[in-house]
Amino acid sequence: QVQLVESGGGLVQAGGSLRLACAASGRTFSNYAMGWFRQAPGKEREFVATISWSGGSTAYADSVKGRFTISRDNAKITGYLQMNNLKPEDTAVYYCAARSRTIVAFTACEYNYWGQGTQVTVSS
């Protein structure tokens, strides 16, 4: 079992930055690929970014490519999502997720474990 807790959300003006963290506990975190998803009011949960167990492979949604960076520190059993040049359309609840496979994945159904979410609000 893996427990995930997100932090770092908040209110920021357009063009600003936030860094989300996802602290993991439980089984060996380094064996798990991670992902970030987000869900805006009235919309479905959507993929944001994913990273392999080693950190050597990453992938992003087109809407965040070039602005967001996913990373992880297996020694600290924590994952991160650095978000720069934020836009109002980035406003959502952000969730981190882990899957009991080492390779990246792009759909929510491929992840076994989820955090409770953290709110990100970007004002115009």
pLDDT tens, position by position, 74-121: 888 999 999 999 999 999 999 999 999 999 999 999 999 999 999 999
CA dihedral for 83, 52, 46, 25, sign (positive or negative): negative
Tens-digit pLDDT profile for residues 12-51: 999 999 999 999 987 666 689 999 999 999 999 999 999 9
Residue 30 CB contacts under 8 Å (≥ 6 apart), including other chains? 53, 54, 74, 77
